[in-house]
Structure 1
Amino acid sequence: MKVAAVQLTSTGNVTENQELALAKIREAAGNGARLIVLPEATAQNFRSGRLDEQAQTLEGPFATAIQALAEELEVTVVAGMFCPADTVERDGKTINRVTNTALIAGPGVLGGYDKIHTYDAFDYRESDTVLAGESLVAFDVDDLIVGVATCYDIRFPEQFKELASQGAQLIVVPTSWADGPGKLEQWRLLTAARALDSTSYIVAAGQSRPGGGAEAGNPSGPTGIGHSTIVDPNGVRMAEAGYEDDILYADIDPNEVAKTRRALPVVATVD
């Protein structure tokens, strides 16, 4: 099965981002991809103002447009968006929080995974505006079991091992990975490590680096570092993007997962 990891640059305009996403999905499907993964925050980037003001439900125009195209093209799409969640008080302010949701859309499928581990690190507190999810999510594409994680989740190996123990053979990771000293090295290490931990394919689609390679290594906030990647169950990088917009492709072989798990039985998987 061919998969695609779409690396793009979201703006603060949900309608513009929707049209960009639809165009990228058409391109990837036209090149034979059956599973197409777009970045975290595809619907609206993190630096474009309040997330709650443009948040939509899974029945809103962003999700339904992607689901309609996925139905038309007979593909499955994963793309980051924000959905309305709850209201909390923080430092005397009332905040309408959202969920950081990985939309899952395909023929007869419209659902989502809410990011479990909010990015409360490096002087940033995602939990102030984002309600953490509680449940692991997996789905089927062409008889392949696909688990879902989002960005900061990749620092938590137990999530990936648990998805694998529940049968996941491939784990998608929509991402908006911030740049900064050592961040690219961490990203490369973590994507390979999670593939090895779970003996699963990893398809990690990230936001492109604002300013491209000219700004490489400088702190970027939670907007993107590029370097989307597809990693095999042995931790070998099958494809990797640079800092700019791109689409990666790879052929996924479930037999390779089975072979790796026989040789390296680090995860107790279900039958």
Structure 2
Amino acid sequence: MALCQIPVGDDPAENLEQVRRALARAEGADLAVFPEAVPVRFGNDLTAVAEPLEQGFAGELRKLAREHGTALIAGVFEPAGDGRVYNTAVAIDASGRPVGAYRKIHLFDAFGDRESARVAPGDAPVVVELAGARIGLITCYDVRFPELARALVDRGAQVLVIIAAWAQGVFKEEHWTTLVRARAIENTTWVVAVDKAPDRTRPPEGGPGGVGRSMLIDPMGTVVADLGPFPAVRVAEIDQEVTERVRRILPSLQHRRPDAY
């Protein structure tokens, strides 16, 4: 698993080059995970970069996955048909074939921002088969809604992948690190949480984007990797036997009481 904490700027061509460089550094990984909103950072005209998943930026991601022989997950934008866009996490296998896409359900109308003015909401959880695992997809603000993560696990997700362009602000980094660990602990599952590298130039709407701190977290809540505050690529292993071991000693999913609540 490669956690690709790249910077994202205003030029889609430069951002695509960042993906290319990260994939080269992730050589040998089965899956590379990139942040939310890779074509262009928030604060730009998102409709200008929104394209069908078979074309444009997502099409270039397919070529790069095939070229490097590495499956990938990344955030892109699709036209929504009402003047807004979908904030979409796309999953592409190592042959360049798209295997699924998740449209962000919960929109960031908080901390002074209104994502819903630019982005239309999705309406369904998505689990994809990728790199030998069943992966549940979560985007940024979605992580504040534990019912989505639980719905993905109930649909058979073995790993939760959270992509983000987490807005900076007071206590925001603390929220990020706490929430992504909580989703691992309460679901006794691996979590791959990849944020963009912190944006230290022009602040987009709602404050500068990205706090970094991309993390790989095991089913017990142990932080196996933490990429800190700078651009970085880290390759680490996910061992599904750890999930089985944790669930034997901590069978909390089996102890749920849907008859009582």
Structures share fold, TM-score greater than 0.5: yes
The partner residue of 2:241 within 255, 265, 270 is 255
1:227 CA displacement: 0.8
Match of 1:53 in 2: 48
Match of 2:89 in 1: 102
CA RMSD, 1 decimal:
1.9
Classify the secondary structure of the residue corresponding to 1:118. coil
Structure 1 residues 188 and 105, CA gap change in structure 2 (3 angstroms): same
The partner residue of 1:186 within 172, 175, 180 is 175
The partner residue of 2:12 within 14, 17, 20 is 14
Matching of residue 166 in structure 1 with residue 155 in structure 2: yes
Match of 1:27 in 2: 25
Aligned mates of 2:68, 2:198 — CA distance in 1: 29
The runs of 5 or more residues in structure 1 that have no matched partner are 88-95, 213-218
Which deviations, in whole Å up to 9, do the C-alpha atoms of 1:215-254 show, x marking residues without a partner? Answer: xxxx972511111111111111011112110112221011
Match of 2:210 in 1: 224
Aligned mates of 2:145, 2:14 — CA distance in 1: 33
Which deviations, in whole Å up to 9, do the C-alpha atoms of 1:246-266 show, x marking residues without a partner? Answer: 112221011111222222222
Q: Is contact 1:115-1:149 (8 Å) kept? A: yes
1:61 CA displacement: 2.3
Matching of residue 149 in structure 1 with residue 138 in structure 2: yes
Match of 1:242 in 2: 228
Classify the secondary structure of the residue corresponding to 2:176. helix
Aligned mates of 1:163, 1:118 — CA distance in 2: 18
Aligned mates of 1:250, 1:220 — CA distance in 2: 33
Q: Is contact 1:6-1:205 (8 Å) kept? A: yes
The runs of 5 or more residues in structure 2 that have no matched partner are 256-261
Aligned mates of 1:83, 1:70 — CA distance in 2: 19
Structure 1 residues 53 and 21, CA gap change in structure 2 (3 angstroms): same
Q: Is contact 1:229-1:241 (8 Å) kept? A: yes
Q: TM-score, normalised by structure 1?
A: 0.87
Q: TM-score, normalised by structure 2?
A: 0.90
1:72 CA displacement: 3.1
The partner residue of 1:86 within 47, 57, 81 is 81
Match of 1:39 in 2: 35
Which deviations, in whole Å up to 9, do the C-alpha atoms of 1:33-88 show, x marking residues without a partner? Answer: 111000001111002x211012111011211121122123332100111111032x
Aligned mates of 2:12, 2:131 — CA distance in 1: 30
Structure 1 residues 229 and 42, CA gap change in structure 2 (3 angstroms): same
Percent identical among aligned pairs is 37
Q: Which amino acid aligns with 2:90?
A: L
Aligned mates of 2:138, 2:42 — CA distance in 1: 18
Aligned mates of 2:6, 2:23 — CA distance in 1: 11
Classify the secondary structure of the residue corresponding to 2:49. coil
Structure 1 residues 17 and 85, CA gap change in structure 2 (3 angstroms): same
Aligned mates of 2:68, 2:12 — CA distance in 1: 22
1:108 CA displacement: 5.7
Structure 1 residues 141 and 268, CA gap change in structure 2 (3 angstroms): farther
Q: Is contact 2:104-2:138 (8 Å) kept? A: yes
The partner residue of 2:72 within 70, 77, 84 is 77
Q: Is contact 2:3-2:214 (8 Å) kept? A: yes
1:183 CA displacement: 0.9
